[in-house]
Structure 1
């Protein structure tokens, strides 16, 4: 994947995640642009480019699926959940204080 594709995916993901919040969306756009501008003069064969592009794609995926914004509406909060928001079943939460195996290692809920 090219840097341009990663840049576009990241910008679109920010727009999805922060839609309706102009201040946060502007800050996200500026941060994304600054990050890409800092590396724009790297040679095409630089070994740091591929991991940076992969990181940008991971961030874009995370923004699309895991960031949910909420607004206070009186005494409650309204969440803006969109079609890309990940909806898990929280199976590991239902296990309580048991040790669970993640990536081959046993983890406790407080670890």
Structure 2
């Protein structure tokens, strides 16, 4: 299936981005991807489990791309490798359920 192959390749690209320079974690992530796809390789293409597995893999790729940040300890501090796809936010917007407004300094108001 073309969608499964694209998803598989995307997961490999995403892990390369998220775990760049950390061969141990990169290899472990890619081994896990291979194993999960092999487990599902025996499914019939028409099976509803296939679309569910592909959707799950796509969700995992989104989480890895947007929410995983590498940290490396340098002395007493940690240096984070944040890339262009890393989701950024602040504590105020993270705490609010969807659609609510954030008031900053009691004056400004913005959409979350």
TM bucket by the smaller chain? 0.7 to 0.9
Structure 2 equivalent of residue 35 of structure 1: 36
Q: Which has the higher contact order (CA 8 A, sep 6+)?
A: 1
Give aligned pairs, total: 98
User: What TM-score, normalized to structure 2?
Assistant: 0.80
Structure 2 alignment gaps of length 5 or more = 100-112
> Hey, which of these two has a bigger chunk of helix by percent?
2
Given the two structures, how large is their TM-score scaled by the length of structure 1?
0.80
Please list every run of at least 4 consecutive aligned residues from structure 1 whose deviation after the TM superposition is greater than 4 angstroms.
Answer: 100-103
Pairing 1:90-105 to 2, within 5 Å after superposition = 90-92=91-93, 101=97
C-alpha displacement of 1:9: 1.1
Gap regions ≥5 residues in structure 1:
104-111
Question: Counterpart of 1:86?
Answer: 87
Alpha-carbon shift at residue 41 of structure 1 (Å) = 1.7
Pairwise CA RMSD: 1.8
Which residue of the partner structure matches residue 67 of structure 1? 68
